[in-house]
Amino acid sequence: MSNHSAPFVPHPETATLEGKNKFLAFWFFLGGETVLFACLFGTYLGLTRDLSGVEPGPDQLFELPTIFAATMALLISSLTSVLAIIQMRKNNMAKMQFWFWVTILLGWVFVGLEVNEFYTYVTVEDFTYSSNAFASSFYTLLGFHGGHVFFGTLWILTLILQTLKKGINTTTAPKLYIASLYWHFVDVVWVFIFTVVYLMGKVG
């Protein structure tokens, strides 16, 4: 039954035991995700310890202006998701949806830039998944992260559609808040990717 007309309560994301249990389950899920990305980072670092003689190498391949633009899109989207949660706690559904839509659009900008980056590497640089160990570990790590970003945008989009029917209540608020936390997680992973893969790849 819809709770659209139910009285609004402060911090609806943690107002019920069900909501709190969702948080607990989310932290377990996040633990698994952290292990997954730790393995991918470890594999990348292990396979790229010595890139002498590898062409194209990271210093030849990476173009920091494009990567910086993708980074800014993702980091700003983290801020807009915070603004959406602030509006959710004020029970302002129109503004909450607006900021979540901005979050989704910025996520799609990031994914578009990453797809264009991969396309350029393959078509211009002939840097394919099977070129060498550096290539396979690079595409695997970046591909997994890009897939997580795209999944996050679909997740938030689904929740926006759900709030159109059910509004902001103790059922939808925990889902929105958890999706926002997930979005912050993929942003944090990207900061590590930007540092470990791109910056270290450029400066050695």
Q: Where residue 20 falls among pLDDT bands split at 50, 70, 90?
A: confident
Cα–Cα distance, 61 to 63 (Å, whole number): 7
On whether the CB atoms of residues 146 and 191 are closer than 8 A, the answer is no
Higher pLDDT, 203 or 82: 82
Indicate if the pLDDT at residue 18 is higher than 90. Answer: no
Question: Which residue type is seen at 194?
Answer: F
On whether the CB atoms of residues 47 and 134 are closer than 8 A, the answer is yes
Q: What is the mean pLDDT of the chain?
A: 90
SS3 of 30, please?
helix
Nearest to 67 by CA among 188, 194, 202, 204: 194
What would the two tokens of residue 141 be? 């790590």
On whether the CB atoms of residues 196 and 43 are closer than 8 A, the answer is no
Q: 54-95 pLDDT, tens per residue?
A: 788 888 888 888 899 999 999 999 999 999 999 999 999 999
Q: Say what the pLDDT of residue 6 is.
A: 59
Q: Averaged over 36-65, what is the pLDDT?
A: 87
pTM (whole model) above 0.85:
yes
Question: Which residue type is seen at 74?
Answer: L
Burial of 136 (0-12, 13-18, 19+ CB in 10 A): middle
On whether the CB atoms of residues 163 and 176 are closer than 8 A, the answer is yes
Indicate if the pLDDT at residue 3 is higher than 70. Answer: no
